Chain A
Amino acid sequence: MGMGDSMTTCTIMITSTDGTEIEAYLAQPDEPSSRGGVVVIHHMPGYDRGTKEIVRRIAELGYDAIMPNLYWREAPGSAPDDAAAAARANGGVPDERLVADVTGAAAFLRGLGSSNGKVATIGHCSGGRQSVLVACNADIDAAVDCYGAYVTGVVPEGWPLKITALNDQLPNLRCPVLGLFGNDDQYPTPEHVDEFEEILKAHGKTYEFHRYDGAGHAFFANDRPSYRVEAANDGWQRIAAFFRAHLGA
């Protein structure tokens, strides 16, 4: 945990591992230290103010935090809602591209002078699934999944969005996972979370799940009717403890 809450934020360009330059939002504690980094994977509504607040809160916890703009290719410089609409109309973000962008962001964090080499991912909603996806395919030290739909379960056929469930990839998971879920959620349902947990257990993976009664999807979203203060406050404490445990030197 950082001793001070002074930080510096900026918008920069980083390089995806596929070679594409994309925009990213970076927040760094001002206090000199050797510390871990966190890649924040924005939700489907995009590279928005709410997710930038999450980036800053993670910097306040004492970590270098970065959010790549996953829609930069479709909509450079556009308003987040327009960019999200363009990306959706275009079929969403393909998994391979997502992994490349997040891996590029992780490499950027590891290249900072303040880095201790450890990097985690965190995402909410679609970003939750993508956080797990990255943890199955890249060198990440810890992953947080906040109510990501279609980690397990069956994606209906014929949808234009390029997503698949991750059941087949979970055996390749390379790092501990923290999962935070609302018991009233329909995507993922508690049964989807059960299935996720059973696969992790069967393969001897390290995980920590917390499930909240009286909370549905997006209970962290403090600008939405779905916000549930008790679940969100407890969830933030779990996230802080998880990062302390896995991002230390």
Chain B
Amino acid sequence: MCTYTTIQTAVDGSAKGAGGTWLHVDQATVYFDHPVHASAEHTLNIDLADPAKGPSARVAIELTAASARALVQAINEALAVVPAELAV
């Protein structure tokens, strides 16, 4: 299927991109659709990007639905144990 489903959120951080270069990222685009590389018909895809630096300023992730859920849980667990005053 080709779901077209696309969710976007602002983020603030850094990611290591093509050529081993770190870049500031301020946009996350999340979608469930055909992957470019992962060997699955559909994956949960995340593009962490700095659109101001052009299309190649991007870190791309393609995860199976189950592993994407596991990642969400891991992120939430990691954030849950952080003292509130540090987690901003």
Contacts and interface: CB of A to CB of B under 8 A. Distances in A.
Interface stretch (A54-62, A74-82, A95-103, A131-139): A74-82
Nearest to B57: A82
Interface string A147-173: 101100001000111010000000000
Contacts of B41: 216-218, 224-226
Nearest to B31: A88
- Size bracket, chain B contacts: 20 to 34
A160 B33 contact: no
A50 to B, nearest CB: 11
A185 B3 CA distance: 11
A163 B27 contact: no
B50 to A, nearest CB: 11
B66 interface: no
A84 B3 CA distance: 15
- Size bracket, chain A contacts: 35 or more
Instruction: Decide if the interface of chain A is mainly helix, strand, loop or mixed.
Output: loop
B34 interface: yes
B81 interface: no
Interface string A207-233: 000000000111000001110000000
A86 B51 contact: yes
A186 B5 CA distance: 13
Contacts of B5: 159
Given A217-B41, A225-B40, A89 B4 contact: no
B56 A82 contact: yes
Interface in A15-72: 43-45
A224 B41 CA distance: 7
B70 interface: no
Given A149-B1, A186-B1, A218-B41, A89 B36 contact: no
Contact of B34 (A45, A82, A85): A45
Interface string B1-26: 11111111000000000000000000
A187 B32 CA distance: 13
A83 interface: yes
A126 interface: yes
A76 to B, nearest CB: 9
A224 B34 contact: yes
B83 interface: no
Interface of A: 43-45, 74-75, 78-79, 81-86, 88-89, 92, 125-126, 147, 149-150, 155, 159-161, 163, 185-187, 216-218, 224-226
Given A125-B2, A160-B8, 10 more contacts: A43-B2, A44-B34, A82-B55, A82-B56, A89-B29, A125-B34, A149-B1, A160-B6, A216-B1, A224-B41
